[in-house]
Amino acid sequence: MKINGNAIRPGYLINHQNRLWVAVKTQHTQPGKGGAYLQVELKDVKTGTKLNERFRSSEAVERVRLDEATYQFLYEEKGDYSFMNQETYEQLQLSDETIGEDKIKFLQEGMNVQILLHEGAVIGLNLPDTVILEVIEADPVIKGQTATSSYKPALLANGLRVQVPPHIEAGAKIVLHTEDMSYVERAKEAKN
């Protein structure tokens, strides 16, 4: 689908210079001389290389639509991650480069993810917005520190270090945003 060059938004996937790029950042610029343009930071979907490009409103850009399918994460073996399509039961192996280092940390057996496909080829995946993880180590609360809204460092079962409220201790399960690794709340206990 063709769109105007100034209509690009972060997250859009575009075909530019015969390659697929995802828009990371955009900034409208109105120079003193000449017409306005949109400065766009692009990231190559396959290689991860970045490119800064200027688009004017008169330019037409090809926006690419992706197909999404729900897959369940099964297991990891020697750097290959196995997923199963929830409708067709077809299995798929993805490398850690395809998934991305920042997303691998959150994968849990049985987790449903959205696999992103372009013309049948996998170009990435989207995690759920939040995940539940166990705190395995948390700093003790310092007396008098609870008067202000302060957070303390904690180590999670997946090896991530995050900031949690003072009342969270080792053994607690917490809900964490996958996008920015921020604490959401203490996980609710399941009732039998």
Say if residue 166 is in the same domain as residue 179: yes
CATH of residue 49's domain is: 2.30.30.30
Where among 84, 101, 126 does a domain terminate? 126
Average pLDDT, the chain: 85
Say if residue 102 is in the same domain as residue 136: no
Domain presence at residue 76: yes
Where among 126, 160, 176 does a domain terminate? 126
Amino acid at 13: L
Say if residue 101 is in the same domain as residue 82: yes
- The DSSP result for 21-81, as a single string, is EEEEEEEEE--SSS--EEEEEEEETTT--EEEEEE-TTSEEEEPP-EEEEEEEEEEETTEE
Number of domains the chain contains:
3
Condensed to tens digits (0 to 9), the pLDDT of residues 160-176 reads 899 988 888 889 999 99
Say if residue 97 is in the same domain as residue 52: no
Amino acid at 79: G
Domain presence at residue 6: yes
Say if residue 9 is in the same domain as residue 59: yes
Give mean pLDDT, residues 112-130. Answer: 85
The SS3 call for residue 123 is strand
Domain presence at residue 52: yes
For residue 148, the enclosing domain spans: 130-186
Say if residue 11 is in the same domain as residue 39: yes
Instruction: Pick the range with the lowest mean pLDDT from 26-30, 71-75, 149-153, 164-168.
Output: 149-153
How far is Cα of residue 24 from the mean position of the Cα atoms in its chain?
12
Say if residue 43 is in the same domain as residue 84: no
Where among 96, 111, 126 does a domain terminate? 126
Domain presence at residue 191: no
Give mean pLDDT, residues 12-37. Answer: 86
Give mean pLDDT, residues 155-164. Answer: 89
CATH of residue 173's domain is: 2.40.50.140
